[in-house]
Amino acid sequence: GENVEQHPSTLSVQEGDSAVIKCTYSDSASNYFPWYKQELGKRPQLIIDIRSNVGEKKDQRIAVTLNKTAKHFSLHITETQPEDSAVYFCAASNSGGSNYKLTFGKGTLLTVNP
Amino acid sequence: GAVVSQHPSWVICKSGTSVKIECRSLDFQATTMFWYRQFPKQSLMLMATSNEGSKATYEQGVEKDKFLINHASLTLSTLTVTSAHPEDSSFYICSAREGGGTGNIQYFGAGTRLSVL
């Protein structure tokens, strides 16, 4: 089955700096890669996703890059703010069918210091 | 985005009793729903995949007789923790997949914190 590795497990940055979280996956059939943000005690919320036919996607301060050859994808947050502090999870899945499911990384605790 | 409602948000029960958790997609039909378990400061562990009108598919190591899943309609899935014990105490989160085919987005419920005394 799919295996997703996520690094780092914790990341501390100063407000205004950039943050980068990296993930690798094992199943070359995976073609959908979402990123979720989870604040303490809250539900995971989708912040951005990318599909395998695209190499990069950007939404304001958040961007995701995908390298299918190397089987890794990354989340980039620019101009970080204290409210960006949360746990971020990457995930990978195939596109559909009865075997569809998301496999999550172990998460990255991001702390943005004012 | 789509809304997934999960109830109850918090439940305390005595050891040996059963607890039912509901997961509803409020503004879309969810052919597939998922149940996860999350331990403190850890990732989301998929327990089972629930397809409307069919039996749930359980992940390896998850006891199907202990964690009963029913997905009777396109907007409701339930997880029943039977004969709960303290080791079942955890945060349980459901999610619903919007769209079939190539629609992959999963929306999560707010989670249920189960404490078994």
Q: pLDDT digits over B94-110, tens only?
A: 999 876 555 568 899 99
Structure-model confidence comparison of residues B49 and B52, the more confident one: B49
Q: What is the pLDDT of residues A78-96, one digit of tens each?
A: 999 999 999 999 999 876 6
Nearest Cα neighbor of B7 from B26, B22, B25, B19 is B22
pLDDT value, residue B100: 57
Alpha-carbon span A114 to A42, nearest angstrom: 22
Q: Is A42 on the interface with B (CB under 8 A)?
A: yes
Q: Is B100 on the interface with A (CB under 8 A)?
A: yes
Q: Is B86 on the interface with A (CB under 8 A)?
A: no
Interface of B with A in 4-33 (CB under 8 A): 4, 32
Q: What is the pLDDT of residues B58-77, one digit of tens each?
A: 999 999 999 999 988 889 99
Beta strands in B1-117 (DSSP E): 4-7, 10-13, 19-25, 32-38, 44-51, 57-58, 67-73, 76-81, 90-97, 106-108, 112-116
Alpha-carbon span A53 to A40, nearest angstrom: 33
Q: 3-state DSSP call for residue B56? A: coil
Is the distance from CB of A1 to CB of A93 less than 8 angstroms? no
DSSP state of A97: S
Q: How many beta-carbon contacts under 8 Å exist across A and B?
A: 55
Q: Is A33 on the interface with B (CB under 8 A)?
A: no
User: What's CA A4's distance to the chain center, in Å?
Assistant: 11
Which stretch of A14-18, A48-52, A77-81, B83-87 has the lowest confidence by average pLDDT? A48-52
Is the distance from CB of A6 to CB of A92 less than 8 angstroms? no
Alpha-carbon span A18 to A111, nearest angstrom: 12
Q: Say if the Cβ atoms of B108 and A104 lie within 8 Å.
A: no
Nearest Cα neighbor of A66 from A24, A36, A113 is A24
Q: Say if the Cβ atoms of A93 and B93 lie within 8 Å.
A: no
Alpha-carbon torsion (B60, A43, A100, B56), positive or negative: positive
Is the distance from CB of A2 to CB of A102 less than 8 angstroms? no
Interface of B with A in 29-68 (CB under 8 A): 32, 34, 41-44, 46, 49, 51
> What is chain B's length?
117
Q: Say if the Cβ atoms of A89 and B106 lie within 8 Å.
A: no
Q: What is the pLDDT of residues A38-77, one digit of tens each?
A: 998 889 999 999 988 889 999 999 999 999 999 999 999 9
Calculate mean pLDDT across residues B41-58: 89
Is the distance from CB of A79 to CB of A13 less than 8 angstroms? no
Calculate mean pLDDT across residues B28-40: 90
Q: Is B111 on the interface with A (CB under 8 A)?
A: yes
Of B42, B100, B108, the CB nearest to A44: B108
- State how far residue A90 is from chain B, nearest Cα, in angstroms: 10
Q: 3-state DSSP call for residue A23? A: strand
State the residue for tokens 């596109």.
A95
Which stretch of A105-109, B20-24, B48-52, B110-114 has the lowest confidence by average pLDDT? B48-52
Of A32, A49, A89, the CB nearest to B43: A89
